[in-house]
Amino acid sequence: MLYVEKWKIVLTVLLCVLGIAYAVPNVLSPARQEWVQTHLPEWMPKKTVSLGLDLQGGSHLLLEADTEAVIAERMEGMVDAARKELAAGKIAYVDLTAKKNGISFRLRDLDKDRAAAYKVASNLAEGLDIQIAPDGTLSANMTDAGITALKTQIIGQSIEIIRRRVDETGTKEPIIQRQGSDRIVLQMPGVENPDEIKSRLRETAKMTFHLPDPEATPTSRPGPLSLRLPMKDSPGATMVVRKRIIISGEMLVNAQSTFDQNQRPAVSFKFDSIGAKRFCDVTRENIGKPFAIVLDGTIISAPVIQSAICGGDGIITGSFTSQETAELSLLLRSGALPAELKVIEERSVGPTLGSDSVEAGKKATAVAFALVCVMMVAFYGLLGMFANIALTFNVVFIFAILSLFQATLTLPGIAGIVLTIGMAVDANVLIYERVREELRNGRSILSSVDAGYKQAMSTIVDSNLTTLIVALILFSFGTGPVKGFAVSMSIGIVTSMFSAIMITRLIIITWLRKARPTELVL
């Protein structure tokens, strides 16, 4: 008949205790929450629910990545690579240029160099559409699939770098999502003034190291393999450097704000093994010559190489302030953005509006909870009270799980919790109606309760499983508020099944054994 294994009883009681422990910090005053956060050990439950932008207030930025500029840069890189390979293969050509999505050049001797030129073009990048015209013009263009894949890669890299930059500023739980093919949504709860964040995102932080062009003069035009760049420390001054990148910022593994020997603010950096070896070779071969350090198209430092630097460590000096070195080291640590980001939309949600939403959500939750409790008692009496106890634990479990996993609670998430409260007693209604039907058929109380749980179980599982599938679909394909609603509803479905099947059943069995009622009013 009615029997619950001891391990299930222990597990149920343990989960209830843990649920209360993890949910309690959310009902403490702000002062007590701060005390708990600072004084309790890390392993103890002390996290609170992370409020979203619409509840806590904050800033919303819509960013657009300049993917076309990145593609154009890739094409210039293909031109340089093609020039090198064509020269190595002794292939005569003219008019080597970069186009919108590819490159082209004309072979001087089509019959002789057709196969070799085709091989060179094929090795420039994957997925190129290569065509050779009768006049000897070879065109290597990126396919639509290749362009789409490159844009996806650019946006993916940008999202990860934005996340590292924003996290290091202390912003709690930023929401960073892709929107369309070249846009990124950035939401920062608790950040009322996003100007500092925007200034960090404006910098692509693309650092490269170049050698100066020894043949250039202050007034001469740069050759095809050189470029003239402005110098940060000397307004109006420029330096001609070689286009060839000696070392790139991708080889940096760390950067920290520090001071030089004269106690001036500086940035220390460290290369990986490949960058350290290349840095050692370059400095050994160019002692006495300047070495240009370029950040986003501006020479931020051009020190003269005094000796070979072979440890992989270096220092960037210049007319920096302490704040500038701190920001520069942060940008270098987080990595270079592959594309420039433009802010095309900005919205701010004040904390007052957020607190109003929280209060409205509290009222809606309390009203829904009260109405459901009244209905259950009115329809099912004492068993309805047992269901209300389980419903209370269900709400506790929801907030405990949100706190434990630091899932962000949004206004749609509160709507999901309110909906879950109404759905949570659905399992109890199915069970109680089945018990009522068995009692009318003349079965005993114990037998009716046992039959009610057994026969209603398949219906409960089916109904909750189908709802959970819908919630998972919303989470998979939805964005922003839709995901917040799906998360809270998914958690509520799982916890409601546990509370209805385990907690209510355990309470009823305990009551039946202790009270041994002769009549069950339903």
What is the third-level CATH fold of 6-56+352-515? Answer: Multidrug efflux transporter AcrB transmembrane fold (1.20.1640)
Task: Identify whether the C-beta of residue 74 lies closer than 8 Å to the C-beta of residue 150.
Answer: yes
- Name 343's bridge partners: 63
- Name 314's bridge partners: 269
pLDDT tens for 91-126 read 999 999 988 889 999 999 988 999 999 999 888 887
SS3 66: coil
pLDDT tens for 401-456 read 998 887 778 888 888 888 888 888 888 898 999 998 988 888 888 888 888 888 88
pLDDT tens for 147-163 read 888 888 888 878 878 88
Range 205-317 has CATH code 3.40.50.10470: no
Task: Identify whether the C-beta of residue 269 lies closer than 8 Å to the C-beta of residue 301.
Answer: no
Domain ranges across the chain: 6-56+352-515, 67-141, 205-317
- Residue 373: CB partners within 8 Å, gap ≥ 6? 384, 388, 391
- Rank 76-80, 207-211, 389-393, 411-415 by mean pLDDT and report only the highest: 389-393
The closest of 166, 159, 172, 195 to 57, measured between CA atoms, is 172
Element (H, E) at 150: helix 144-168
| Position with higher pLDDT, 502 vs 199 | 502
Q: What is the pLDDT, as a whole number, of residue 170?
A: 44
Sign of the alpha-carbon dihedral angle for 190, 192, 193, 198: positive
| Rounded Cα–Cα distance for residues 345 and 350 (Å) | 17
With helix as H, strand as E and coil as C, how does 291-342 read? CEEEECCEEEECCECCCCCCCCEEEECCCCCHHHHHHHHHHHHHCCCCCCEE
| Rounded Cα–Cα distance for residues 213 and 295 (Å) | 18
